[in-house]
């Protein structure tokens, strides 16, 4: 089986290919290039005609990034008549962390959701399963302090703010753990269990309503 993983939920644009024999990846860490570069990276990485399935990071995260990733995945799956698998972004981050460090502790993830809100979740890995200690949710920063107080490891997009709030925990940047290959690996496991998305109806896991700000005069 050959499966493509797409990660565009944050400033990292990453695509990874997983086959029975190898895994490869192309990534860019640059804001606002996803719409221009995601297909370029895919074409550099593989021939889409050889794909058996596509997995995509489903959120939460950047509204624009999530829409670009999912629309790209849906378009390719529809044209190639192959299955689509959606993978929660936080699951991909935790899987990437575990692959690098081999830790199985509960890993907390918090992402700035703007307007004073934060996306926060906590997962651990048992065998090849990502288990949620609690499901990802939107909370205020004071609630982040409560929910992640017992996590030894925290991954975030605001590393200095979180380090100052959690001086006893190990805090790392989320941008080190946004990988298309991790999305592909989890996607393969979901696919083997029949957890495919309905291409016609699947939407990103936004968790918040998109607010359009009007320009002030």
- How far is the C-alpha of 56 from the C-alpha of 37, rounded, in Å? 16
User: Is residue 84 predicted with pLDDT exceeding 80?
Assistant: yes
- How far is the C-alpha of 134 from the C-alpha of 148, rounded, in Å? 10
Percent of residues, the chain, with pLDDT higher than 90 = 88
Neighbours of 192 (CB within 10 A): 10
Per-residue pLDDT, 101? 87
User: Is residue 83 predicted with pLDDT exceeding 60?
Assistant: yes
- The architecture that CATH gives domain 3-88+177-192 is 2-Layer Sandwich (3.30)
User: Is residue 14 predicted with pLDDT exceeding 70?
Assistant: yes
Per-residue pLDDT, 51? 97
Q: Could you tell me the CA-to-CA distances from 215 to 23, 104, 118, 192, 212 in Å, in that order?
A: 45, 46, 24, 48, 10
SS3 129: strand
Range 66-78 average pLDDT: 97
Radius of gyration from C-alpha coordinates of the chain: 17
CATH topology match: 3-88+177-192 vs 103-174: yes
Domain ranges of the chain: 3-88+177-192, 103-174
Pairwise pLDDT comparison (49 vs 102), residue with the higher score: 49
- How far is the C-alpha of 197 from the C-alpha of 194, rounded, in Å? 9
Structure-block tokens of residue 147: 């929910």
Per-residue pLDDT, 128? 79
Phi-psi region of 3 (alpha: psi -120 to 50; beta: other; left: phi over 0): beta
Phi-psi region of 60 (alpha: psi -120 to 50; beta: other; left: phi over 0): beta
User: Is residue 203 predicted with pLDDT exceeding 50?
Assistant: yes
Per-residue pLDDT, 103? 72
Range 126-148 average pLDDT: 93
Identify which of 146, 28, 168, 169 has the alpha carbon closest to the alpha carbon of residue 156: 169
| Fold assignment, 103-174 | Nucleotidyltransferase; domain 5 (3.30.420)
Per-residue pLDDT, 217? 46
What torsion do the CA atoms of 161, 167, 170, 171 make, to the nearest 10 degrees?
Answer: 0
- Binning pLDDT at 50, 70 and 90, where does residue 210 land? low
User: Does residue 60 have a cis peptide bond before it, meaning omega lies within 30 degrees of 0?
Assistant: yes
Per-residue pLDDT, 213? 44
pTM score of the predicted model? 0.93
Per-residue pLDDT, 164? 97
- Average pLDDT for the chain: 93
Structure-block tokens of residue 60: 């939460």
């Amino acid at each position: 089986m050959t499966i493509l993983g797409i990660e565009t939920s944050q400033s990292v644009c990453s695509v990874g290919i997983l086959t029975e024999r190898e895994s490869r990846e192309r990534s860019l860490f640059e804001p606002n290039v996803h719409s221009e570069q995601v297909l370029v990276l895919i074409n550099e990485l593989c021939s889409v005609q050889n794909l058996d399935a596509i997995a995509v990071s489903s959120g939460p995260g950047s509204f624009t990034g999530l829409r670009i990733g999912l629309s790209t995945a849906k378009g390719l799956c529809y044209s190639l008549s192959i299955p689509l698998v959606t993978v929660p972004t936080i699951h991909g981050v935790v899987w990437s962390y575990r692959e690098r460090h081999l830790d199985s502790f509960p890993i907390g993830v918090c992402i700035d959701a703007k307007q004073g809100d934060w996306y926060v979740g906590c997962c651990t890995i048992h065998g090849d399963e990502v288990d949620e200690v609690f499901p990802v949710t939107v909370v205020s920063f004071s609630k982040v302090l409560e929910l992640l107080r017992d996590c030894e490891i925290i991954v975030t997009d605001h590393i200095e703010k979180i380090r100052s709030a959690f001086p006893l925990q190990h805090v790392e940047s989320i941008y080190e753990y946004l990988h298309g290959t991790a999305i592909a690996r989890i996607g393969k496991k979901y696919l083997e269990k029949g957890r495919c998305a309905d291409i016609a109806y699947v939407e990103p896991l936004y968790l918040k309503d998109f607010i359009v700000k009007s320009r002030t005069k």
